[in-house]
Structure 1
Amino acid sequence: MNVDVVIDIARQTLLVIIKCSAPMLLVSLIVGLIVSIFQTITSIQEQTLTFVPKLIAIFMVIMLAGSWIFKNIVDFTYELFSNFGTYIK
């Protein structure tokens, strides 16, 4: 296995990580922004107010996109293991 193969595997791994974590991160960002705007408008400065809506939103995203995330991870793992013979040469 040469350096190019290792770099390609690392690149593919990072792309899968980004693709699988993006829905949860984006929803968390949007919910946090909405709660911050709500806190600014109502002058409520409670720091723990952001955790519950984010937690609920991320849980909902995992419920909706969990099978898609799992499928991406399984496909990548299957591809990685199926090419294992070429990696060790």
Structure 2
Amino acid sequence: MTPEVVVDLLRQALYLVVLMVSVIILPSLLVGLIVSIFQAATQINEQTLSFLPRLLVTLLALGLGGHWLIREFMDLFVNLYTSIPELLF
């Protein structure tokens, strides 16, 4: 196994991690920003006001993107599993 192969496998894994995290976290960040702007405009300083919308959006993102995320994860591991003979010799 050459260093280029190891670097390529690591690149694929890190790309998948960044993709999975961004699909789950970015909608929550946007909703948090919108709620924070609303709180600043209305001067409502309730900490729990921003928690529930972010939680719901995160769960919605997991529900809508869960199948796709698991399929991408499984594709990576099937690719790794099938390439084991090529990597050893």
Q: 1:37 and 2:44 equivalent? A: no
1:76 aligned onto 2:82: no
Question: Which residue in the other structure is 1:9 paired with?
Answer: 9
* Root mean square deviation, CA, Å: 1.2
Of stretches 5-14 and 18-27 in structure 1, the one that deviates more from structure 2 is: 18-27
Which structure 2 residue ranges, 5 or more long, are not aligned?
Answer: none
Q: Does residue 50 of structure 1 match 2:37?
A: no
Q: Residue 50 of structure 2 aligns to a residue in which SS? A: helix
Q: Match of 1:18?
A: 18
Give the Cα–Cα distance (whole angstroms) in 2 for the partners of residues 88 and 50 of structure 1.
51
Structure 1 equivalent of residue 60 of structure 2: 60
Q: Deviations over 1:17-74 (max 9, x none)?
A: 1222222121011101111011101111222322211111000011111101111001
* Cα distance in 1, alignment partners of residues 5 and 86 from structure 2: 10
Quick one: which amino acid aligns to residue 67 of structure 2? S
Return structure 1 stretches of 4+ with deviation > 6 angstroms: none
Determine the C-alpha separation between the residues in 1 that align with 2:9 and 2:88: 13
Cα distance in 2 for partners of 1:26, 1:60 equals 12
Structure 1: tracts of 5 or more residues without a match:
none
Assess if the C-alpha contact under 8 Å between 1:28 and 1:54 holds in 2: yes
The count of corresponding residues between Structure 1 and Structure 2 is: 89
Q: TM-score, normalised by structure 2?
A: 0.91
Question: Under a length normalisation based on structure 1, what TM-score does the superposition of the two structures give?
Answer: 0.91
